[in-house]
Structure formats: C-alpha cells, structure tokens
Structure 1
Amino acid sequence: MHDSTTSGSTDPEPSADSVVGTIVLWDVDGTLVENAAVPGSLYHLALERTVGRDLEQLVGHQHGRTDAGIILEALRAHGLDPELSETVRGHLQRLSEERYRSGERRTPAPGVMALLQRMTDRGWRSALLTGNSAGRARLKLASAGFDPDAFDWAHSYFGDEDVERQALTRRAAADLRGNRVVVIGDTPRDGTAADAAGIPFIAVATGVHDVDELQRTSAVAVVADCAEGADTLLDAVAALRPLV
C-alpha cells in the first residue's frame, strides 16, 4: 500500500484505465442472455398482427441480424409492402411487453453477471450493441435478472431501424474514438460488423455458434463462456489500444 506520509514517496504512474475510457459493447441475445426457446417467433406473430391473418412462417430467425433486417426480409418473403416495417416493429414491442408482463423470463448466460461486476470494479463501462430496439433490450435484461440501469444507455446502439448491423458499429466507432472499445458477441455477424468499423471483437460461444466456428472470425479472443473464459476475456480487453 502506498504511504502518503513517506518522505520522498511518489505516486505510481497512472494506469491505462485511468487515462483511457474503456467501453464494452455487449450483444444481448446469446451473449448476455441465453437465446429464447423458439427464436424468431415474436417476429412472425408481429407480422401476423400487422396483416390481420395467419401466415406461413417463411423466414426463420437469423442470429446476429437486426430487428429491422429480420422484419424487412419477412415482409419481402410474403410479398408485403416494406413500408409496413414500422407497424411490425410496434407490434413486436407490444408483444415483448405482453410476454414480460405475463411472467416470461430469460436466463443470463453463464458467468456474465460476475464478469460485468469485475468490469465495473475496473472502472470499465458496459453498454449495448444489439439488433434489438432499446425497449426490447431493456425488457430482456430485466427478465433475466439484470439491472438495466447498470448499462451505459447513452453509449449504446440499437438495430430496430438499421437493416445492417454494420451501421451500428460505424456509429459507435465515430462516437467513441479515443476510448478503448470492444464488441462482445456470439455470432460471426457480430464480428463482421465490428470489422467494418475497425472495432476489436471478442466472441463467446454461448449462442448457436461453437468455439471452432467463432475462431474463424477476426476475434482477438474466443471463449466458451463468460465463466470459464472470464480471465482470458478481461486480459484481451485490457491489452487493446484506443480507437483512433
């Protein structure tokens, strides 16, 4: 312990963390919370509510896509007007709220809550970079037992209006230059989007893609989950340089 009364003593050099902000951009589904039992079902229900009739489910959930991208693909698959996207998004939000009020709950990914606290203890900020809307992300986090207000919403990025995930990472890179920034996600699409903006990517195999698949991305680290791989993940983030 440093003794401030010692004659001639000097404070240690400031650490990188005290000079540079560290912002960790988390994906939600498959990364912070485990994937739903039937991924994509709410998108189809929202589409049916929009048109007022039953529809054949022609588009399955594509992990790592944005809400806007999944909705647009579903509309096109059924020959429906893309201008209906906003209406579908509204129904999607209301369906998410209904499920939450009915008691439907999600499960946090292994080790992630403890890892978030370790990041907070280091002075790092956890934010979101997700294909969901802000409202749906908040509901998912709350339903899995997270405190949504523990995340930095002012520096979070949401995919309810952007068809391509790269639009989110490019906004993040423009906003956060000068900070140490990393995207943590569970799909190769998370990595591709991070690459497009020059943001480092860390992959966790807690979604539908295994470690071998994720090692074929540009990830600076790949871990099985945030319990087993917590130290590896923290070391990888600490070694990163600020965005320029």
Structure 2
Amino acid sequence: MRIVLWDVDGTLLLNSKKAGAFYHDAIREVAGVVPPPGEPHAVEHGKTDAQIITERLTRWGGDLAHFDAVSARMDELSDAYLTDAARREAAVGVPEALRAFADAGWTNGLLTGNSRHRARVKLEGAGVDVGAFDWTRSYFGDRFVRRSDLTSAARDELAEATAVILGDTPADGEAADAVGFPFLAVATGAYSVAELRETSARSVVPDLEQGLPSLLETLRAL
C-alpha cells in the first residue's frame, strides 16, 4: 500500500484568522479562564489540538482536568464550519491533486492536528470531497500533544506501507522525520517556499496547482 497523509489547515484548506477563537471560547466556557490582558500572539501553526488546548490551559491558569470537556466543546463549536459565517476555503488545486494521486496508485489519508470531527466539518464546509480520503487510515491530533507521537501512531499502523506526509509547516516535516516518513511541502500556509526548503522536504511547491507535476514526480521516485 502507498498512502499520502495530508495535513488539513494550510495544506488542504487555507488558514483562517478566526480559527483561534474556537479554542478561546471552548476554554472560557468549560474551564472559566481567559488569556491575560496583552498576552502576545502565540505561533500555533503545525501544533495539534491537544497541544494547543494543553498549552493555553497551562498559560491561562486553567485546570488540565478540563481537557476532555474542552476538546468535546471544540467539536461542538466547530459545527460552525458548515455555515457561511465560518466556512473555510479550499486551497487551489485540491480536487485535482487528490484525483491525480489516486490515479497514480496512492491512497489519500489524513494526518492532522484536528480531531476527526473537526477535520470532517472543515473539509465538508469548504466543499472538499470527504469521500476522497481513507478515514480508516487517517490520524488525528486531539489526543496527541506532540505531533511526532501522532506520526508514531501512523507508522505503527502502516508498518508495511509506503507512507508520505504532505503538509505546510516545518512541524509537519519534523514529525515526518521522527518516524522516517518522506515529507512533501506546500507553501499555502504560514511558511514560504524558502522557509520550507530549510526542512527535509523532498519537494517544496508554491501550491498544489503549480506544484502537482513536481509532487507526482517525487511520489514516482519513492
């Protein structure tokens, strides 16, 4: 089996400035804590939901015993991604890339910091065909504080497969490196082509539309 494990935010979908509000609201509603006045913006690109919730609860003086309830409330709030007010936008070239990979004999799976529910509603809201992915061979970060633990879980289940990570952050690359998965990078998130070239990525492309031939060539060589 050959499988491409796609990241969601910044890779399949364009990032949203509103995304952090769901963490804020869920933690406030469940744990009763909020960030202190003037707290600087934390860089959270490439982090899992579990890491973001844990770090925010810790910084804001919340009780980590609320973690499960905060995570569940995040799923509930994320149903808003199905509405026009919070709907996400698919990155350019997504449908074509998914079809091309499948035609080349690769399974499309997910490896994302989102929960399964949050990934699904984000993709559905953006009009991405969720049926294009093998959800039984997809991996979700709502229970993994470290992204490398998420890729470790994928490696254990895909021991006999050729698996590749496709993402938009250095964190995706580091997590791939931790388990020996090849990394492919697309600069549709917060990091530039130049920044992503400083990672271990076998191929770095500006977007899925322009970069599809390069990505397919790299996959053929694996």
Structure 2: distance between partners of 1:53 and 1:74: 9
Letter aligned with residue 105 of structure 2: G
Q: Give runs of aligned pairs for residues 76-225 of structure 1, distance below 5 A.
A: 76-101=58-83, 104-225=86-207
| Bigger mean CA offset, 114-123 vs 101-110 | 101-110
Alpha-carbon offset, residue 218 of structure 1: 0.5
Tell me if the contact between 2:81 and 2:121 (Cα under 8 Å) persists in the aligned partners: no
- The one-letter amino acid of 1:153's match is W
AA of the residue aligned to 2:82: Y
> Corresponding residue for 1:25?
5
Question: What letter matches 2:208 in structure 1?
Answer: C
1:84 alignment partner AA:
H
Gaps of 5+ in 2: none
Decide whether the 8 Å contact of 1:26 with 1:185 is kept in 2: yes
Match of 2:86, SS state, is coil
**Which segments of structure 1 move beyond 2 Å, counting only runs of 4 or more?**
51-61, 98-104
* Matched residue, 1:44: 24
Residues 49 and 115 in structure 2, CA contact (< 8 A), matched pair in contact too? yes
- State the distance in 1 between where 2:103 and 2:199 align: 29
Does structure 2 conserve the Cα–Cα contact (< 8 Å) formed by 1:22 and 1:181?
yes
Contact 1:66/1:165 (8 A) holds in 2: yes
Counterpart secondary structure, 2:150:
helix
Distance 1:226 1:30 in 2: 11
| Whole-Å separation in 2 of the counterparts to 1:37 and 1:235 | 34
SS state of the match for residue 123, structure 1?
A: coil
Aligned equivalent of 1:17:
none
- C-alpha displacement of 1:54: 5.4
Whether the 8 Å contact between 1:39 and 1:61 is mirrored in structure 2 is no
Identity over the aligned pairs, expressed in percent? 46
Taking structure 2 as the reference length, the TM-score comes to 0.94
**Of 170-179 and 133-142, the range deviating more from structure 2:** 170-179
Unmatched 5+ stretches in structure 1: 1-20
Deviations 1:159-183 (A, max 9, x none): 0011000011111112112322100
Q: Do 1:24 and 1:126's aligned partners in 2 also have CA atoms closer than 8 Å?
A: yes
Give the CA RMSD over aligned residues. 1.6
Which of the pair has more CA radius of gyration? 1
Call closer, same or farther: CA 1:51–1:178 in 2, change over 3 Å.
closer
Query: Structure 1's 102 and 90: CA in aligned 2 closer, same or farther, altered over 3 A?
Result: farther
Q: Offset at 1:149?
A: 2.0
